[in-house]
Amino acid sequence: MLDLLKGVRVVELTTIVLGPMAGQMLADFGAEIIKVEAPNGDLARQVEPRSATGESSMFVNCNRNKLSLAINLKSDEGLEIMRRLIGGADVFVHNMRTKAIERLGLDAATLREINPGLIYCSAIGFGSDGPYADRPAYDDVIQAASGIAHLPTYTGADPAYVPGVIADKIAALYAANAISAALYNKAQTGNGVELEVPMFEVMSSFVMTEHLAAASFDKETKPGYQRLLNRHRRPFRSADGWIAVLPYTEMHWRRTLSEIGREDVLAQEWFQNDSTRSSRVGDMYEILAQSMPERTTEDWVATFERLDVPHSRVSSLEDLLSDPHLQAVGFFDATDDTQGRVRSVPQPVRVRDAETAPDRRAPLLGENSLQLLGELGYDDYEAQTLVARGVVRGSTKIGGT
């Protein structure tokens, strides 16, 4: 954990992946993240697989370096706690639909009356100004809506989801980036801003950055970056596995085609011109595909290392755990003391010349509730009364409730 955002307090009212991952990114850089949960906790706490002591892998990998406050926001007392908490915060981030957050009285207009300098971030499914605003949104839905799931059809396959929580995680990057920019603005001006990070718009932007292509300039032209949509652009089968090869420049192609004995292609008139060569890239990919089974993956890796042509073996999830580069940088080393933890997914950004501290494990549900109530001005009797009445779920020791 770094100290670049030391002194920044973020109140995070989010669940599953998008909001929690954005909060964890800020926490890794030193912000104090107060994760507000319902008394039964973030749904991610229940996602399998879980450790022998009950910690969910998904939860602990998205919520390190945070404090947990478990309160019932359906009660007046719970909402009062929330208002006090936000009154002293720099940032409030939530992933509730607009109507739901308004019913709680936690909308931007209301909270910025309490705290005019508040940075208010809505990490939601669809932008609040459009007709989809109140639709529920999950990763598969956004992959379908944004065109991600349709991309395989251009190469002859059926629509398919990326087998990962890609929309949530990419939107989390946008949210953390926007909050960081807003914090810089607040440091300069003292003013808060309202941010909206809609997954659908984020992923549509993500997809169409390259695929708007010629449609950027001609309304009648279909979108699509043809090199990426070429059916021959794929990992190639080697003698014993799979390898990715990307000759990108003319020099890359000259070295590669010479290596596989296809000087006849180099002699073609169309190869001499960047534009015509680019238009025939599918043909060149197919020529590569025909040659790749002649050698093993390791042989090709050594060959392309020698030629200085971009390449990689195709790694499985299991391969990543033993990848020599990731091992050398200590990528999967456990960075917190979660019970049973043998590996973690770290903050991948390396920052030189900054103070660091050990990561804190993801908090137990309500682990910090009583501590935070004390900071908000509740005495011990008031805090224990709130616990007894079910307004707050808290513990006075690790593992207690």
Structure-block tokens of residue 59: 């939860």
Tally the C-alpha atoms within 13 A of residue 18's C-alpha that lie toward its C-beta: 29
Sheet holding 242-245, edge to edge: 236-237, 242-245, 311-313
Quick: pLDDT tens for 211-251: 999 999 999 999 999 889 988 889 999 999 999 999 999 99
pLDDT at 395 over 80: no
Residue 379: band (very low, low, confident or very high) from pLDDT cuts 50, 70, 90? very high
Per-residue HEC secondary structure of 43-108 comes to HHHHCCCECCCCCEHHHHCCCCCEEEEEECCCCHHHHHHHHHHHHCCCEEEECCCHHHHHHCCCCH
**Mean pLDDT, residues 81-105:** 96
Pairing of strands 311-313, 242-245: antiparallel
Task: Please give the structure tokens belonging to residue 276.
Answer: 């015509």
Instruction: Provide the whole-model pTM.
Output: 0.92
Q: Are 38 and 78 in contact (CB under 8 A)?
A: no
Domains of the chain: 9-207+332-393 (3.40.50.10540), 236-313 (3.30.1540)
What pLDDT, on the 0 to 100 scale, is given for residue 367? 96
With cut-offs at 50, 70 and 90, classify the pLDDT of residue 298. very high
Q: In the predicted model, what is the mean pLDDT of residues 46-67?
A: 95
Residues sharing a CB contact under 8 Å with residue 260, sequence separation 6 or more, in sequence order: 287, 288, 291
pLDDT mean over 102-113: 96
State percent of the chain over pLDDT 70. 98
**In this predicted model, which residue has the larger pLDDT, 401 or 132?**
132
Per-residue pLDDT, 397? 42
pLDDT of residue 243: 97
Mean pLDDT of 277-297: 93
Mean pLDDT, rounded, of the chain: 94
Note the pLDDT of residue 200: 98
pLDDT digits (tens, 9 = 90+) for 184-199: 999 999 999 999 999 9
What does the pLDDT read at residue 354?
87
- pLDDT at position 227 is 86
- State the pLDDT confidence band at 400, using cuts at 50, 70 and 90: very low
What's the CA gap between 398 and 367, in Å, rounded?
7
Residue 80 has pLDDT above 80, yes or no: yes
User: Rounded CA gap, 289 and 189, in Å?
Assistant: 57
Confidence of residue 396 (pLDDT cuts 50, 70, 90): very low
CA–CA distance, 63 with 73 (Å, rounded to integer) = 21
**Model confidence pLDDT, tens digit, residues 301-355:** 999 999 999 999 999 999 999 999 999 999 999 999 898 899 999 889 989 888 8
Residue showing tokens 């890359």:
252
By the 10 Å C-beta count (0-12 exposed, 13-18 middle, 19+ buried), 203 is classed as: buried
* Residues linked to residue 31 through DSSP beta bridges, in sequence order: none
Percent share of the chain, pLDDT over 90: 90
What is the C-alpha to C-alpha distance for residues 281 and 256, in angstroms, rounded to an integer?
Answer: 13
Structure tokens at 76: 């007046």
Query: pLDDT for 196-212, tens place per residue?
Result: 999 999 999 999 999 99
Residue with tokens 């022998």: 52
